[in-house]
Structure 1
Amino acid sequence: MNTRSRALSHGVTGAVALSAVATVVFFAVNTGLAHTSSSSDVVIDAAAAGPLTFAFIGLITFVAIIFFTGSDRGEGLESELSGAPRGSLTLFTKDPLITVTSIGPLFGLCFSLAALLWRTFASAPGAPGTVWGDFTSSPLPFVALCTATIASTNFGLAMAGVTVAVRSHTGLALWLVAGNVILGMGAGALFAWLSFANTVSAAAITVPLAAVSVIILLGARRMAISSAGEEKLSARARRRGPTPPPYDALDRDESVWLKIGNCNPRGAEFLLVTPSRLVHTRPTSSGSTEIIGEAAPKQLVGASTRVDHGRATAIVQFRDRPAFRLYGTDPEEAAEFTRRLTVLARSGILPD
């Protein structure tokens, strides 16, 4: 199963599982099994089943990033240390765009279909003309709930994306995580109100709100990718003129995760790390870039630095092939480069 299929499968599983939990919440209240507290004999009125379950949808979708943890299970420790939600770095910087943008629609569809089931068995139907009251008599309430769920999910994910973008500032990232939970409670209150809202007015608000949330989510993803240190040359920039060395050694739109050069007076050599390969390059007399060697990320074992007379040699070790050696580099730059590359080799995650 490829990355896209695996990530989408994860999204479908999460949406179905959380819809099932919401269904349990609804029927617990609807059948009079839910109490106001574990130590109380006061039963929650069955009329509250719809609004309470709507509130649950608002809360659970806004904090969906907690459940949708990306496709790379090796990310955990690195993400936790940076303050970003576990798995969010993978979701926003490695998983395909369709993975991020499909979570909201998947949640919207699953929760709205579940709400059709809830309304069919509701002991206390809502007032006519409201979203909850009209749910089985008109498609408009379905649209209102679905688009509201999409908006809530996208706004919550966008906050997670911004958290990834500022993850180097751990304190700010943790405040954003706390803010996500607080805003999730606010989303729950708004969804409870939605169940009582006029159907036409609710749809008129939620449909454009869902469209806006997609734009904001895409912006947050762009921020997250930019913060990951990718130096990406667009196809348009490449068409405008010659690509400068060492980037002319890359494929079109290939992005750079890490780069280090040396101070060779005859022409600097570079080590480039991209999502698909590691490349050792040097300039040619014609001004272009020659690839001395390249390896796949799965061949990477680790990296180290050796310092002699104030200059460092960055050494990158691989399985089944000779190491890359870059002589005459700055010691501090080489130490940071090899540290990050070693973490990448061990965890599959590029650290800050």
Structure 2
Amino acid sequence: MDAAVFHGEGDIEVEEVPDPEIRDPTDAVVRVTHTAICGSDLWFYRGQRDYPTPGRVGHEPMGIVEEVGEDVTHVRPGDRVFSPFSISCGECEFCRKGLHTSCENGAGWGGENTGAQGEKIRAPHADGTLVRVPERYADDESVLESLLPLTDVMCTGHHAAVSAGVEAGDTVVVVGDGAVGLCGVLAAKRLGAERIVAMGHHEDRLEIAEEFGATEVVSARGEEAVEEVTELTYGGANHVLECVGAESSMDTAFRVARPGGTVGYVGVPAGVDEAAFLDTAFGKNVGLEGGVAPVRAYVDDLMADVLQGTLDPSPVFTKTVGLDGVPEGYRAMDQRDAVKVMVKV
């Protein structure tokens, strides 16, 4: 079968690899029909994070179950499924707490578990990991495209909003206009926020933020941006979503937070020196909550909203490619020519 393989900085190639097979009785083999390229994939693509070379890539799979191990009971061949970016058993202490990303038997996509940017994947712990799409929606392309962001970015944006304590009537600031930040806007709106200030540097992305419910957008940079948001929010917001992971975005998030507020952070940290913002956090008594999103804990509620037509994060996909177009998809995201790339296999 064909799959995308990382060979070094800026080098993604689609090549022939072995088909996945059932190894354990809890495994499933899934034929991928949809997947995506994530902003976090750019860290290794740009040489800013270590990654095995050569290495299979991708962590946002959706497809059709082809084969299951003898112990799998939740899904069967022919089912339409998708998966969170992390593999989880669904039974250990942390899964029972809703912290599936700390699963005692967990893993990520790639390596032995095969990357999602390919024709097929082996899904370990299929009962705990795979999410079954109700049969009546299994071939509805518009619904499937709306569900695909639930593999990562929609649930991650939701985790930022929940971690920041967003509730009905609140004022919220979202730092970052990538797919996670845009989904953070959508999540804050879903939770009932009255004012949502979206901070970013790209007019086309801020337009999507407004479509998703942002009441104000700020495109300035640095000190000017902080001053503008502080003025708009009369001294800062009690709820700030940090959706980038850079040192500058973390610093901004704490500076625009109101004293006693909370920053919900979900941006994958890259080159962050915590000393740069801890003084601000300490002096203002600003709390920090969040981390890697336990997608499996959120996905059922969010899927219900998608299926009833009240939630649609699919506009974050601004470019669609086939599997052979994955290298171009990485280039487009790296050059900011696309917010997020959907891959139809």
What range is the shorter-chain TM-score in?
A: under 0.3
Structure 1 or 2: larger helix share?
Answer: 1
TM-score (norm 1): 0.28
Using CA pairs below 8 Å that are at least 6 residues apart, which structure has the higher relative contact order?
2
For the pair shown, the structure with the greater C-alpha radius of gyration is 1
TM-score (norm 2): 0.28
